[in-house]
Amino acid sequence: MMSASAVVFYILSFFILATGLLAVTSRKIFRSAIWLLFSLTGIAGLYFWLQMEFVAAVQVVVYVGGIVVLIIFSIFLTQQSGKDLPAPLRSRAIFSVLAVCAGFVLTCVLLRGYVFVPAGHSGIAGTGVVDASVGNIGAQMLSTSEHGYVLPFEVISILLLAAMIGCIVIAMKPKPGDK
- By beta-carbon proximity to other proteins, the closer residue of 130 and 177 is 130
Is 109 a binding residue for other proteins by CB under 8 A? The answer is no
Is 48 a binding residue for other proteins by CB under 8 A? The answer is no
* List 5, 80, 144, 145, residue binding other proteins (CB under 8 A): 5
Question: Residue 9 contacts by C-beta under 8 Å, 6 or more apart in sequence?
Answer: 46, 49
In the DSSP assignment, the letter for residue 27 is S
Is 69 a binding residue for other proteins by CB under 8 A? The answer is no
Is 60 a binding residue for other proteins by CB under 8 A? The answer is no
* List 2, 145, 146, 151, residue binding other proteins (CB under 8 A): 2
* List 144, 146, 171, 178, residue binding other proteins (CB under 8 A): 171
Q: Vertex 85, ends 79 and 91: CA angle to 5°? A: 145
Binders in 149-168 for other proteins, by CB under 8 A: 149, 152, 156, 159-160, 163-164, 166-168
CA distance 23 to 6: 26
Would you put residue 2 in left (φ > 0), alpha (ψ -120 to 50) or beta?
beta
Phi, psi dihedral angles at 160 (to 5 degrees): -65, -40
Binders in 125-154 for other proteins, by CB under 8 A: 125-126, 128-130, 132, 136-137, 140-141, 147, 149, 152
Is 11 a binding residue for other proteins by CB under 8 A? The answer is no
Helix H segments across 50-149? 53-58, 68-78, 90-113, 134-141
